């Protein structure tokens, strides 16, 4: 992998103190303290991930793949070189390479990571369990049918995209939703229909379906954090081996959260006729997505995106041996998707 220096901008940025940052970014303070690299660049608040390895490629690849092939609202990432400065460091900090992305939050909305929605003070999600299927069931009981269709479609398309790219780090901290703020309703009560019923004009915020009050206006946040795809790891660069089974940390159902490749392979061979267990369960319960599976199984749209990274027009340039590795991996995934079409 090489970086195209001519296309990589350089910035000098001032560090934003935490006490100011927490008024600009609507995340828990513990998350901000863990990852405080937010900067104002060109009058926009941006988040900077310090990276100088193949994750510069994977984030950009998934952003394009998710948007152009799966129709997902993915976050755009750009490679940049940033030097930080502070009042106590007149020479500026060390120059670092990484990924810049725009802050997508709006002041008039509340944002909820799935990890926050597992907090029983915020919602009832915890009682449904830890899986994609559980989240969909929770949303079915909590939000309007119109919003459910959009959120469910988002989650399933994201799951399929993750399966095709061997995403190994989709988890409750990188899946989120947003909903308009309501005056007089605190953050922890906003996802409680019973609390919204007490608000004036609550009919604009709720809908009654099957005798139950359900929320209106919940939508998915942008898709972000796609580093660990295509067998890439920041310590051991290429980890994928032919025949590896997808083992998502965010499974379709709780019983498909595998502890190891050995366990996953055993279940795949003994219970799923050699097919990807999580993908099979997804399609058995949502057969209307078979055309999308067919498109990925028999198309080569991913290849066109890969080829972009061999030109001189992208910030990251891949060498032939890297392209060969990624193509072999994705060809394996195509074959897995082809197996699913035969069920």
Model confidence over 10-19: pLDDT tens digits?
999 988 999 9
Q: Phi/psi at 40 (nearest 5 deg)? A: -95, 115
CB 104 within 8 A of CB 77: no
Distance CA 69, CA 153 (A): 14
pTM across the whole model: 0.95
What average pLDDT does range 249-264 have in this prediction?
A: 96
Q: Which of 237, 250, 242, 243 is nearest to 167 (CA)?
A: 250
Distance CA 335, CA 341 (A): 10
Q: Which pLDDT does position 15 carry in this prediction?
A: 86
* pLDDT bracket for residue 75 (50, 70, 90): very high
Give one DSSP letter per residue of 163-179, joined into a string.
Answer: HHTT-----TTS-EEEE
Distance CA 34, CA 157 (A): 30
Domain boundaries, the chain: 2-102, 109-220, 254-341
What average pLDDT does range 72-77 have in this prediction?
A: 97
* pLDDT bracket for residue 203 (50, 70, 90): confident
Q: Which of 221, 108, 235 is nearest to 172 (CA)?
A: 221
User: Strand 78-85 relative to strand 10-14: parallel, antiparallel, unpaired?
Assistant: parallel
Q: Which of 93, 89, 69 is nearest to 81 (CA)?
A: 93
């Amino acid at each position: 992998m090489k970086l195209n220096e001519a296309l990589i901008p350089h910035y000098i940025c001032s560090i934003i103190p935490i006490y100011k940052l927490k008024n600009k970014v609507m995340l828990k303070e513990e998350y901000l303290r863990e990852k405080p690299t937010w900067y104002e660049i060109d009058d926009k608040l941006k988040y900077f991930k310090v990276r100088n390895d193949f994750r510069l490629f994977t984030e950009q690849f998934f952003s394009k793949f998710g948007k152009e092939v799966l129709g997902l609202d993915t976050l755009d990432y750009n490679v940049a070189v940033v030097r930080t400065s502070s009042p106590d460091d007149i020479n500026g900090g060390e120059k670092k390479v990484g990924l810049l992305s725009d802050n997508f939050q709006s002041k008039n909305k509340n944002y909820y990571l799935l990890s926050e929605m597992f907090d029983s003070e915020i919602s009832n999600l915890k009682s449904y369990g830890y899986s994609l299927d559980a989240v969909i069931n929770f949303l079915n009981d909590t939000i309007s049918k119109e919003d459910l269709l959009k959120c469910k479609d988002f989650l399933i398309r994201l799951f399929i995209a993750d399966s095709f790219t061997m995403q190994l780090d989709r988890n409750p901290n990188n899946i989120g939703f947003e909903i308009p703020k309501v005056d007089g309703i605190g953050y922890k009560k906003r996802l409680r229909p019973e609390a919204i019923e007490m608000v004036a004009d609550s009919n604009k915020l709720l809908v009654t379906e099957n005798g139950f009050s359900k929320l209106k206006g919940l939508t998915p946040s942008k898709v972000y954090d796609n580093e660990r795809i295509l067998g890439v790891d920041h310590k051991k660069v290429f980890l994928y081996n032919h025949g590896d089974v997808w083992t998502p940390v965010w499974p379709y159902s709780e019983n498909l959260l595998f502890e190891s490749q050995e366990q996953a392979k055993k279940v795949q061979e003994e219970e799923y006729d050699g097919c990807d267990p999580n993908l099979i369960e997804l399609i058995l319960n949502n057969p209307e997505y078979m055309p999308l599976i067919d498109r990925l199984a028999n198309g080569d749209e991913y290849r066109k995106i890969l080829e972009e990274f061999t030109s001189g027009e992208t910030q990251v340039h891949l060498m032939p041996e890297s392209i060969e590795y990624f193509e072999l991996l994705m060809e394996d995934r195509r074959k897995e998707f082809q197996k699913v079409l035969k069920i």
